[in-house]
Structure 1
Amino acid sequence: MSLPLADGPLAGAAAALGVGLLVGLERERRKGEGPDRQAAGIRSFTVVALLGALAQGLSQALAAPGLLLLGGAMVGALAVAAYWRSAARDPGLTTELAMCATYLIGLLCMSAPAWGAGAGALLALLLAARGRLHHFATRVLTEHELHDGLLLAALALVAVPLLPAGPQAWLGGADLRRLAALVLLILLLQAVGHVALRLFGARTGLALSGFLSGFVSSLATIASIGARARHGDVPLRAAQAGALASSAATWIQSMMILGAIAPPLAWLLLPAALAGATVALALVAWLSLGEAPTEARPPADSAMLRVREAAAVALMIVTATLLLGAAGRWLGERGVVAGAALAGVADAHAAMAALGGLSSGGLAPGTAIWGVWAALLSNSAVRAVAALASGGRRFGALVGVGLAAQLAAAALALYLR
């Protein structure tokens, strides 16, 4: 048996009342006291929310949609009067806009109480977070980060949805929209890593820095950390932990790429990726024990997004797709595996994205899996050589052993599947 307030006008009115009280309670704490106080508080916002609910209910009952406009005009006039009264000492429009939003939420509550209640809670949360949002926008967020955030939003909301979907012959069968979404994913990971390092860099070590940088390029991360270890800028164990943490990011990002392009192939390789990432993180934890945290905070004026690197990954993916497609046509399945190994030397993610695209286009799952392994083997070998060359014998030996242990664990997990 359902409760009497589970639906219907009573539920809408109750939701509107709750929204008015919630938003009004937040505004009441900020409106001040005395003759200079703000015009609207808990009672005003509750009445505005109930006015919206009554206008919606009466307009439906009496078939008079003009009541909605009348109620909106009344609330708008009150908001204008409140702003005119307080503009000299407080030029902000937050309270006045909140009154109009509360009226509209009251309307929404009568037709969709759950949505109305959620919108009211979100509005109250937004109003209550004023100080934190102001601090974040003016003190934490830099000009570069604001620019990069707007660029990221434009790519996600405008550029990617407008691109054509489906295989494109001139790209060797690759899906242009999925390719753009992959570039967007890489940029998003860069942004997350940058913000995390800005917030926690002084209290974390090279392990977190290496893990976040590994989403961009594990090879470049290992070479950079190895050079710092060779020159004595960071402790050896901390440097090794950072290098192996970047390899854990490679496993995670590989699954994200394959999951976006070829979900069936990603599902087949998931146990192997989990095993490889688990071994990498276990080695990182072991190496990090007893190590003092190291400074890893990027400069405040550094860019959050590295668009050229993401575009370079997209170019490598297209090149690898064309290479593997041509190898498959000319040399058959062995050509695809050999091409994947060759592409993996430059970038494992590009090779996997290309194999995922070919798998969606009809490449046999067994051949795709062998291609992934070929790319991982060649890329791991290059990373081991880079660790040895940049960081010396002690640094490179342990990193190489760690990479080999990850591959062995991944192979065992895939065999036992």
Structure 2
Amino acid sequence: MQGLHLTADLYQCACDPALLTDAALLAELCRGRTLDSGLTLVNEKWHTFPDFDGHPGGVTGALLLAESHLAIHTWPERGGITLDVYVCNFMADNSGKAEALLHGLVEVFQPGKAQYERLQRGDENGPGANGELLLESLNDTSAFGFRFARRLHAEQTPYQRLEILESKELGRCLRLDGLFMTSEADEFFYHEALVHPAALAHPAPAAALVIGGGDGGAIEELLKHPSLRDITLVELDQRVVDAARQYLPSIHKNAFDDPRVRLLFQDGARFMADTPRKFDLILLDLTDPETPAGPLYTREFFQLCQSALTADGALVMHLGAPFHEKDQVRDMSAKLASVFKQVHGYGLHIPLYGAYWALAVASDTLDPTALDAATVSQRLRERGIGGLQYYNEGVHAALFALPNFYRALMPAVKK
């Protein structure tokens, strides 16, 4: 049963319009291309839909092949066609014949735009044996993904789609609206980098604010700094915290219940507009700008954050992938620079995010790049911070050593 499944979604087709409405003409084309590709036709079925709303009806057809099938559907009112070719490779490898059939038909239909998918099926010892493949886009043309053996939880909260997945490599993983947020195996890359560069640069942070961060990983790292006696977590979606409590204790380590932590479930922008408090550190541990967190990526919101910082305080946030999201990183860092006197970009590869990832420390006075390795080592020792898996005295400076392509996206730091 092992085989290759190909699909094509075609738009703005410039072929003879009759191919989208005439079942006999379309059937003749599909039969001919099927035989030309070397596949074996054993039966077929075609149906023409009636006219609708002033438009001619489309055609649905299927060719049964000795090797499996070809299915086709047309939408003449949109100039659209969907193609589906599946071939079994049990007795012989028919993959090349499937490719020839699909692309031969696409060539005839002349689409203005096309989308393709390729799926290997039926190999119990193949890649699919390791679980469901889930992909995430980095931009319009790049994607990455992981295989997950189990879905532990899925729900539609009032704000987003929430999933808890599990794999051998990543352990349990939080996914929101189809975007990977954190996993048990690699959370330390992001959370240690988000928290410790700015927290170590501050001589004695006492109060911290985390907006977002419902998985609890950021507050767990903040609690390692003994001078921090007051940590506020503002999370829009309480169901994220609920799910983290149930499924991700290895990430938050019960930080939600520490007496130094206060949980608030409300909109981060509203909190910042209303709070009279001052914080030494503000961490924006947010979902991406195209999500419900979008209003928290504005210059106006950054101004609210600046007003809520102490004189030597700092804002920390992620900017995105500087190679794949150049415009976003450039735009976000420029907004920060229009509010803060210093914006220090830094970065690291984060496995779950599929790329080298950009973060920034924004402040009017705090400069994390001024911290040398000896001072970092001393402060880690004095604060009793051990057991870190990524961050150390050597890594601190390396985080801020930007490759040239990333440096070119960042505004000059005003010293």
What is the TM-score with the length of structure 1 in the denominator? 0.34
Higher Rg of the two aligned structures: 1
The structure that is helix-richer by fraction is 1
Which structure is higher in RCO with an 8 Å CA cutoff and minimum separation 6? 1
TM-score (norm 2): 0.35
